[in-house]
Chain A
Amino acid sequence: SQKIEQNSEALNIQEGKTATLTCNYTNYSPAYLQWYRQDPGRGPVFLLLIRENEKEKRKERLKVTFDTTLKQSLFHITASQPADSATYLCALGGNAGNMLTFGGGTRLMVKP
């Protein structure tokens, strides 16, 4: 069965360090992968989309990699700030209907 795995344990890092979050998937061939940020009691906010033919994408302090051989995406936040503390969700898409399938999310805590 299809599975998307994100580390369910919270990631605690010090302000200024680089946070790296992992998204692994099995039994899936997505055309693209997206990363979202979700704050408590709020809807997800779109951050980045990376397509299957792209290796890496950057946006300000964010960087996403996509390895279709390893079936893995890495999400990096450089020079992390306490305001980056949130839950980060990866989502795979590109199947019929362009539906997104979400991972369970990883909670990031950046300490000052």
Chain B
Amino acid sequence: GAVVSQHPSRVICKSGTSVKIECRSLDFQATTMFWYRQFPKQSLMLMATSNEGSKATYEQGVEKDKFLINHASLTLSTLTVTSAHPEDSSFYICSARDLAGGGDTQYFGPGTRLTVL
């Protein structure tokens, strides 16, 4: 099946630093990837839709200058949390659509646990 990886799986950083999270589709090409965040015992909240070769589409309330998304290739999207603060601590999960599989199924990465001190 389609595999999506994320790196790093866990990161702890100081307040004010920037953190980059990578999302890769390992065995398929993904023109569209999605970034979610999930707080403890809550559901996934879509942050933005990442489109290869174009600007990301952000959901209402998500600061595009705070959460920079780059989708430079068909297999890689990155999310950079700039000037991270403790309230940015969360579980960040990416997903990718497998167009060859019909496009309606999203395959999720294992997630990245961000802790900002």
Contact = CB atoms under 8 A, between A and B. Distances in A.
Contacts of A105: 43
B107 interface: yes
A89 interface: yes
A94 B103 CA distance: 10
The dominant DSSP class at the A interface is: mixed
Could you tell me the dominant secondary structure of chain B's interface residues?
strand
Interface stretch (B11-19, B70-78, B109-117): B109-117
A46 interface: yes
A49 B98 CA distance: 14
A104 B109 contact: no
A46 B42 contact: no
B105 interface: yes
Contacts of B93: 43-44
Contact of B104 (A43, A45, A98): A98
B106 A102 contact: no
A97 interface: yes
A43 B110 contact: yes
Nearest to A32: B104
Contacts of A102: 43-45
Interface string A82-112: 0000000100011001111111110000000
B67 interface: no
A45 B108 contact: yes
Nearest to B98: A46
A45 B106 CA distance: 9
Given A49-B104, A49-B105, A99 B46 contact: yes
Interface string B42-60: 1111100100000001000
Given A97-B49, A99-B34, A42 B111 contact: yes
Contact of B43 (A32, A41, A89, A93): A89
B97 interface: yes
A46 B44 contact: no
A94 B104 contact: yes
Closest 9 CB pairs of A and B: A43-B108, A104-B43, A102-B43, A43-B111, A102-B44, A44-B108, A43-B93, A43-B110, A43-B109
